[in-house]
Amino acid sequence: MTTLRLGVNVDHVATVRNARGGAVPDPTRAALLAIEAGADGITAHLREDRRHIHDDDMKRLKAAIAKPLNFEMAATEAMLDIALRIRPHACCLVPEKRTERTTEGGLDVVGQFRALKPFVAELGKAGVRVSMFIEPSGEALKASADLGAPVVELHTGAWCDALAHGDRAKADYEFGRLRVAAAQTPRLGLECHAGHGLDYESARVIAALPQVVELNIGHFLIGEAIFVGLAETVRRMRAAMDEGRAAAGAAR
């Protein structure tokens, strides 16, 4: 089975920094530490309101890290300009609402198909791997493939919320959607990533889906880092993912 990559999202290091408006803690330092501890890449979301990551963070991250940088962004002209200047390894297109606390729901790839098309094309032309952050549905997968995006990131938020609320029936239903969606990706020629709201336990479970090759995880890791340190948190996450994948492989 393919190995599962861990993308560490450093947004909330910037959230803590911005609480005081200074230079520390530095998301770039966190990125380097996470990589040393086993992260395969770094993810950061430059939101339109710049509530956590700032433009300069994105530039510094790109310059400092030797592993892939995944730039999460809304599909706007202003963000496209910045992404084309920074030229990250990958761009994940996400929906964005100013009033939301975090990215709620996946991109409306069906309804916004025509509007999204030039963004996927421009980024692809620049050699950036484009990922669509979508709900785990057949329509969204098909539209992403039709858009020419090489990658989809399945939104795991609804599943993780159900787990957090102890709603077993809903969690099983949501996990079923993720399983079915992941299984459809090879046929559509899509690389499959997943993320949002994952912790050690949910990462271990989703690691069992063989088509998923990358998890992007932020809030939980930065929160745990307060208690056990970032390097240890990344090592534990890596171990949880590897255990989940190995157990699934043995069961096949």
Supply the residues annotated as catalytic.
Answer: 45, 72, 196
- Closest distance to ligand PXP from the beta carbon of 9 (Å): 5
Selected from 31, 39, 198, 213, the binder of ligand PXP by CB under 6 A is 198
The closest alpha carbon to 155, from 190, 184, 112, 198, belongs to 198
- Closest distance to ligand PXP from the beta carbon of 16 (Å): 14
- Closest distance to ligand PXP from the beta carbon of 113 (Å): 19
85-124 mask for ligand PXP (x: CB under 6 A)?
A: -------x-x-------xx---------------------
Taking the least distance from each CB to ligand PXP, the nearer of 88 and 197 is: 197
Is 9 an interacting residue with respect to ligand PXP (CB under 6 A)? Answer: yes
- Closest distance to ligand PXP from the beta carbon of 94 (Å): 5
* End-to-end CA separation in angstroms for the chain: 11
Selected from 40, 153, 174, 214, the binder of ligand PXP by CB under 6 A is 153
Taking the least distance from each CB to ligand PXP, the nearer of 35 and 152 is: 152
Question: Which ranges constitute the DSSP H helices of the chain?
Answer: 11-20, 27-36, 55-64, 77-86, 113-125, 138-147, 157-164, 168-188, 200-206, 219-228, 230-251
3-state secondary structure at position 105: coil
3-state secondary structure at position 113: helix
Is 218 an interacting residue with respect to ligand PXP (CB under 6 A)? Answer: yes
Convert 55-83 to b/e letters by CB count within 10 Å (16 or more is b).
eebbebbbebbebbbbbbbbbeeebbebb
3-state secondary structure at position 191: strand
* Region from 140-148, 163-171, 182-190, 192-200 binding ligand PXP, contact rule CB under 6 A: 192-200
* C-beta separation of 212 from 182 below 8 A: yes
26-55 mask for ligand PXP (x: CB under 6 A)?
A: -------------------x----------
Is 195 an interacting residue with respect to ligand PXP (CB under 6 A)? Answer: yes
* C-beta separation of 215 from 5 below 8 A: yes
Rounded Cα–Cα distance for residues 91 and 72 (Å): 6
The alpha carbon torsion through 2, 31, 239, 15 (nearest 10 deg) reads -120
Residue whose tokens read 């200074």: 22
* Region from 77-85, 170-178, 195-203, 204-212 binding ligand PXP, contact rule CB under 6 A: 195-203
Residues making contact with ligand PXP (CB under 6 A): 9, 11, 45, 72, 92, 94, 102-103, 133, 153, 195-198, 216-220
